Amino acid sequence: MTEFALNGPLVQLFISAFVTLFVVIDPPGCVPIFSSLTAGTSSAHRTQMAIRSCLIAAGVLVAFALGGEAFLSALGITLPAFKIAGGIMVFVIAIDMVFEKRTQRRESRAEEVKSTAAASGKPLEEEDISVFPMAIPMLAGPGSIASVMLLSARTGGDVASEFAVLAALVAVLALTFLSLLAAGPLMKLMGAKFEGALTRLLGVVLAALAAQFVIDGIKQSFNL
């Protein structure tokens, strides 16, 4: 019973994983990109793209969460080394979020996809944007893959802890799916200024989480 108390280890792990993945995947930041990519398309097409994007991203992230440690072992990479490298990578993403460089890159990818569709002479509705750029790299990008592997490594192979991390991942992707479905109304509600302020705030939180990953990796490397 104590494990499931509000201050229990599983609940704390779930909250930590949820916050980390929410900040890295950034559902609010995906809304304007998805809205731009699906502008002028039917409601059925937007729904289909939202479902496929989230399912593909979920498959990629779950695969890395469950098999990431074995993959690292096969390459001769230790978990502490990956924690340090992953923490640095996530920290760079946080810096980009604070200075809005990440949003600019996402918008550039969206414009590239739209330009490709225009050059091919096909209507945008015929373009499948679920795999690229929505699922990969916007939802299941290097940052989210590194984060889910780091969070999985913290479980120490405990089934209940692993389930808590996967539950947090599912919860974040469910929120992302709902955000994509409501992209139009959310864009009107948020506005550019609110979105920018939220992105910067989440970037600061992510920077602190990334620093903790690096600290944990250094402690494990030198048995501190």
More confident: 190 or 176: 176
Q: Mean pLDDT over residues 181-209, rounded?
A: 74
* pLDDT for residue 121 is more than 80: no
Per-residue pLDDT at 59: 96
* pLDDT for residue 184 is more than 80: no
Residue 186 is which amino acid? L
Q: Read off the pLDDT band of 176 (50, 70, 90).
A: very high
Q: Which two tokens stand for residue 147?
A: 């984060």
Domain segments of the chain as ranges:
29-221
27 closest CA partner among 143, 167, 165, 199: 199
* pLDDT for residue 3 is more than 60: no
* pLDDT for residue 92 is more than 60: yes
Q: Which two tokens stand for residue 124?
A: 């945008």
* pLDDT for residue 213 is more than 50: yes
Q: Which two tokens stand for residue 212?
A: 């903790």
| Distance, CA of 78 to CA of 80 (rounded, Å) | 6
Per-residue pLDDT at 190: 66
pLDDT in tens, 16-26: 999 999 988 98
DSSP state letter for 126: G
* pLDDT for residue 6 is more than 60: no
25 closest CA partner among 106, 125, 82: 106
Q: Mean pLDDT over residues 160-173, rounded?
A: 96
Q: Determine what percent of the chain is predicted with pLDDT higher than 70.
A: 77
Say if residue 24 is exposed, middle or buried (CB neighbours under 10 Å; 0-12, 13-18, 19+).
buried
Q: Which two tokens stand for residue 105?
A: 């890159």
Q: Which two tokens stand for residue 46?
A: 């937007």
| Distance, CA of 107 to CA of 27 (rounded, Å) | 15
> At which residue do the structure tokens 């990818």 appear?
109
Q: Which two tokens stand for residue 150?
A: 């780091």
Q: Mean pLDDT over residues 68-80, rounded?
A: 82
114 closest CA partner among 104, 103, 125, 105: 125
Per-residue pLDDT at 7: 62
Q: How far is CA 41 from CA 47, 124, 170, 212, in A?
A: 10, 7, 27, 43
Q: Read off the pLDDT band of 41 (50, 70, 90).
A: confident
Give residues with Cβ within 8 angstroms of 9, minimum separation 6. 3, 161
> At which residue do the structure tokens 């991942």 appear?
169
